[in-house]
Amino acid sequence: MYRNRHRLDTLPVRARYGLFFGGYKSNRYYWEIFLIVRKVSVIAISSFGAAMDAEMQSLILMMVLMICYGLQHIGQPFEITGEEKTRHRILPGLELAVLSMLMMTLWAGLMMFKLNESGEYEFVYMILTVSTVGANIIFVFVLLFILLRQLLHEKRQQLATNSIESSGDSGGVGVEMSSVSSSVELNIRGVEESIENPLQVQRSVSRSRRETIVPHGWIRHVVAESGDAYYEGPDGVVTWDKPPGNVFEEEGIIVENSNPMGM
């Protein structure tokens, strides 16, 4: 980790050593070493210090714990700055509380050992025993409460994130389906209108180009009863067909003649 101390945020280093420096400040990446030394010291003194009496073991363990308490208080290794680290601010106080509880338990155990040897102050011995056991039980329940509260908070955050993601996906699909259905509805409506009144649709499309030009000599007549139009030519010829010409209007429809010269 020392060789990679300037690359702690890179993925390979975090994947390999993240278990050891995760949660600590970048300049306190080595703090896990102090925890390992503390645990090894407690186990070594308890296991290999059998040659020493209980008083000496307790005093040495209390000295180790006091040193760890001082280092923890001065070093402040936990990364608790930043909005996303708000709930981590409990970690420094929690670590100091654990060390304090250990030192208090050792001190109470040493006192009970001396009172038991002397055979005096039985009432004090009983009060101290009940207090020590009760304090440890309460402390364990407090730790469990903090753990469960944090797990519940993380669960709520996960559910909220999943709800937002699912609502975003369904919203996108809903908008897409709504646009598709609206487009289909408009197309169907346009087809229905064209079927019901095709002349009106075509008239509305061609309104900007409307212009009536009847070839010279031709007269357009409209039958009042039916509204049909017929054309009378200059030579007296009457026809219901469209006379030759560039553009003429029938029932409001603009039709362009492909052969304006009548050929």
Residues 98 and 143: their CA atoms lie apart, in Å, by 10
pLDDT at 261: 39
Taking residues 12-39, report their average pLDDT: 85
**Whose structure tokens read 């955050």?**
157
Cα R_g (the chain), whole angstroms: 47
pLDDT greater than 50 at residue 201? no
Residues 58 and 56: their CA atoms lie apart, in Å, by 5
Residues 19 and 188: their CA atoms lie apart, in Å, by 63
Looking at the chain, the whole-number percentage of residues with pLDDT higher than 70 is: 67
pTM of the entire predicted model = 0.56
Whole-Å CA distances, 172 to 116, 169, 218: 74, 5, 62
- Residues 130-182 have pLDDT tens digits of 999 999 999 999 999 998 998 898 888 888 888 887 776 555 545 455 554 55
**Comparison of pLDDT for 22 and 143, the residue scoring more:** 143
Taking residues 101-108, report their average pLDDT: 92
Of 27, 1, 26, 3, which is closest to residue 15 (Cα–Cα)?
1
pLDDT at 136: 94
Phi, psi of 262, deg, nearest 5: 75, 15
- Residues 61-100 have pLDDT tens digits of 999 999 999 999 998 888 877 666 677 788 888 899 999 9
The mean-pLDDT minimum among 14-28, 86-100, 140-154, 194-208 falls in: 194-208
**Comparison of pLDDT for 243 and 1, the residue scoring more:** 1
**What mean pLDDT is reported for the chain?**
74
pLDDT greater than 80 at residue 27? yes
Looking at the chain, the whole-number percentage of residues with pLDDT higher than 90 is: 17
pLDDT greater than 60 at residue 246? no
pLDDT at 205: 41
Our measurement of the distance from residue 51's CA atom to the centroid of its chain's CA atoms, rounded to an integer in Å, reads 59
pLDDT at 255: 40
Which band of pLDDT confidence, cut at 50, 70 and 90, is reported for residue 206? very low
Residues 106 and 55: their CA atoms lie apart, in Å, by 10
